[in-house]
Amino acid sequence: MGMTAAVAGASGYAGGELLRLLLNHPDLSLGALCAGTSAGTPVADLHPHLPQLAERVFESTTPLALSAADVVFLALPHGESGALAAQLSPSVKVVDLGADHRLVSAAEWERWYGGSHAGTWTYGLPELPGARTAIAASSRVASTGCYAAAITLALAPLVAAGLADPADVVVVASSGTSGAGRSAKAHLLGTEVMGDLSPYKVGAHQHVPEIKQATGATSLSFTPVLAPMPRGILATVTVRPLTDQDPREVLAAAYADEPFVHVLPEGRWPHTAATLGSNSCHLQATLDQDSGRVVVVSALDNLGKGAAGQALQNANLLLGLPEQAGLSISGVAP
């Protein structure tokens, strides 16, 4: 008999993407599908793209229901995973898609999120040096934030190689509206977002400490932008170079054996549509001819490599399954 996966927060966008991926996983079957206010609602009412689940109903979120599974995914808002995770059986492997367990510093958690720090779990970005082994040896993994995944994959190898000045990092990144979750918000109404680009949390985004922790950057200026599309992230990362190394070659060497990170051929630049529905991140790098700064552009699906896909990649490692199981390298087009 195969292993089972339970999802808390299964009614949300990231939760729905997890269900879609798990339905096609060769080694995992769906256990409890838990929700908060949507408990009792048919799954297909909120996820009509999943007709296989037409007979399923969202359950109330209880530790007992979740602990019956081999792996539990917590796709909950920031600040809600810690208390629930503490009640789960120690024998259950857990992947948290929220921020509760990502930061090492309790002081940084309190500064950026407020409330008490729930503790630090193994950080879930397998492409970082040593991370894959640490994840496989763990039972609790904190998956990355969506912006953090896109920016860290672009920046970390440059800092590690001594190419990038860790004290001079500037990022502008655009994200689709699904990154804000499914809860109704006036500024996310179609009428509000169509034909508009709008910055938000300028100079104060909660992913900053996570990105610094994961990359070794010591100073990060980050401007996130809401884009009028459902899903996708495009991040432009610029740094002051400390060496004359070719940034594209540094990235290519770092990810030469990585199935989900692709340094594109010279002259080809990442764009969000190319990563849609995949667990891939596309990268390209160059030197700015005027300023001399290194420019790296990164694209991924915020619900894929930025959330559900990344979480499933981590779960595969936790469970000793093939890392690529249930995940697509290729995007969907048009």
**Closest-CA residue to 207 (of 269, 268, 145):** 145
Element housing 235 (H / E): strand 233-241
Distance CA 193, CA 227 (A): 7
The one-letter code for the residue type at 77 is P
**Closest-CA residue to 282 (of 267, 301, 310, 309):** 301
CB 259 within 8 A of CB 279: no
> How many CA within 13 A on the CB side of residue 264?
20
Active-site entry in 22, 75, 85, 146: 146
CA torsion angle for 174, 16, 205, 290 (degrees, to 10)? -20
Distance CA 59, CA 62 (A): 8
281 noted as active-site residue: no
3-state secondary structure of 287: strand
Q: Which residues are catalytic?
A: 146
